[in-house]
């Protein structure tokens, strides 16, 4: 059955890429988060291999792979998704793409029962932010506002978090939460590799800057 067995999960939407290995019942079998201050995704494949070796697993022993799709770092998302697709295609493992902001929200709801709602925001530069909203629903949660691009002024007006309403800014999604959400998608059939794409809500800074330079010529 798709999604049964161990799950390898990864996310590189933030400046601290992460990889996690979850057991068949979502047990924490291994975890890596890049050290603060380091950049890039060079260690992603190496750390994933180490987690599998520590459990004496091959890629083919997995029940599937889950990967964060953003929004977030343009380069990091492309690298993580390419790695995840590269793992699953030869072995025909099921694949699941998970919104990184959703994983960040679930991490808070999962660990703090007093929290009823979470708003996740990330700086999108040029006075814009990415925003997504979620709320607890029984033992799980639901999306109340899909990931979207908003003016920074809208985020500034949110104010501060309360005990039940959390505003999390610039989160580092946990690989375990990506894996837990990914398993649900995998159990429902997973995603076609070609459909797992970065959740880009705006063009990159480089593309915008190039267009502006072209206009000034």
User: Is residue 160 domain-shared with residue 198, that is, in the same domain?
Assistant: no
Q: Using CA atoms, how far apart are residues 113 and 18, in angstroms rounded to an integer?
A: 25
CATH code: domain of residue 115 = 3.30.420.200
Residue 156, domain member (yes or no):
yes
pLDDT class of 104 with cuts at 50, 70, 90? very high
Q: 196 exposed, middle or buried (CB, 10 Å; 0-12, 13-18, 19+)?
A: buried
Residue 200, domain member (yes or no):
yes
User: Is residue 178 domain-shared with residue 160, that is, in the same domain?
Assistant: no
Task: Read off the pLDDT of residues 61-70 as tens digits, 9 standing for 90 and up.
Answer: 999 999 999 9
What average pLDDT does range 88-104 have in this prediction? 95
Q: Output the average pLDDT for the chain.
A: 93
User: Is residue 143 domain-shared with residue 177, that is, in the same domain?
Assistant: no
Q: What is the pLDDT of residue 209?
A: 57
Q: What is the pLDDT of residue 208?
A: 56
Residue 211 has pLDDT above 60, yes or no: no
User: Is residue 158 domain-shared with residue 177, that is, in the same domain?
Assistant: no
Residue 2, domain member (yes or no):
no
Q: Using CA atoms, how far apart are residues 190 and 96, in angstroms rounded to an integer?
A: 5
**Range with lowest mean pLDDT among 108-112, 139-143, 160-164, 200-204:** 200-204
Percentage, residues of the chain above pLDDT 70: 93
Q: 113 exposed, middle or buried (CB, 10 Å; 0-12, 13-18, 19+)?
A: exposed
Residue 44 has pLDDT above 90, yes or no: yes
What average pLDDT does range 182-210 have in this prediction? 85
Residue 214, domain member (yes or no):
no
User: Is residue 131 domain-shared with residue 80, that is, in the same domain?
Assistant: no
Stretch (H or E) spanning 184: helix 175-187
């Amino acid at each position: 059955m798709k999604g049964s067995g161990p799950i390898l999960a990864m996310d590189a939407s933030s400046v601290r890429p992460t990889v996690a290995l979850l057991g068949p019942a979502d047990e924490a079998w291994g975890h890596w988060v890049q050290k603060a201050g380091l950049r890039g995704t060079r260690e992603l494949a190496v750390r994933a291999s180490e987690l599998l070796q520590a459990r004496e697993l091959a890629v083919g022993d997995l029940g599937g792979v889950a990967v964060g799709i953003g929004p977030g770092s343009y380069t990091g998302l492309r690298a993580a998704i390419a790695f995840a697709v590269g793992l699953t295609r030869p072995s025909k493992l099921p694949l699941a793409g998970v919104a990184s902001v959703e994983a960040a929200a679930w991490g808070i709801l999962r660990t703090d029962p007093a929290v009823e709602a979470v708003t996740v925001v990330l700086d999108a530069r040029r006075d814009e932010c990415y925003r997504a909203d979620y709320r607890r629903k029984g033992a799980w949660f639901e999306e109340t506002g899909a990931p979207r691009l908003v003016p920074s002024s809208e985020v500034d007006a949110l104010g501060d978090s309360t005990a039940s309403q959390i505003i999390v800014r610039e989160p580092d999604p946990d690989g375990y939460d990506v894996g837990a959400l990914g398993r649900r998608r995998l159990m429902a059939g997973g995603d076609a590799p070609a459909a797992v794409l970065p959740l880009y809500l705006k063009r990159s800074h480089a593309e915008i800057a190039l267009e502006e330079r072209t206009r000034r010529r």
